[in-house]
Amino acid sequence: MEIPLVRHPESVTIVPIDGDEVVLVSQTRRGAGKRILELPAGTLEPGEVPAEAARRELAEECGLAAGTWRALGSFWAVPAYSTEFVHVFEATELSTVPPLHLDEDEDIEVERVSAAEAQWMVADAGSLAALALWRSTTG
């Protein structure tokens, strides 16, 4: 059986760090059939560069802006059947901003967890990979 190729735009995943906490989002995911915790993330709009998308998604999903941004790396989400390429950014020096409009299908709750516990609490591969990139660059 041949699995169809999913053509997906590039995306971003953000690792928002506030002191010794990581900001996560909880939302219902159809594939999981329940709410899961993950890092804030989203798809690039046409013509949008990854850094702009990361800023937009952090504001949209978490109501946060970052004073400092750092590119951590990138990876293919699921190259066996998807074209999605994920750019990962660390966001620090966080401040509250009015949240941007959520997409129609988003019902997001923001949670803060300790950086030590975050990798055990996220439930998607993209968040796990992004946290691994972050840990590998922070010593």
Nearest Cα to Cα of residue 9 among 59, 47, 56: 47
Q: What percent of the chain has pLDDT over 90?
A: 86
- pLDDT of res. 138: 85
Q: Single out the catalytic residue among 38, 104, 109, 117.
A: 104
Residue 80 CA to residue 20 CA, distance in Å, equals 35
Domains of the chain: residue spans and CATH = 11-138 (3.90.79.10)
104: annotated active-site residue:
yes
- pLDDT of res. 35: 95
Mean pLDDT, to the nearest integer, of 38-45? 97
Taking the model in full, what pTM does it have?
0.93
For the segment 65-86, what is each residue's pLDDT rounded down to a tens digit? 999 999 999 999 999 999 999 9
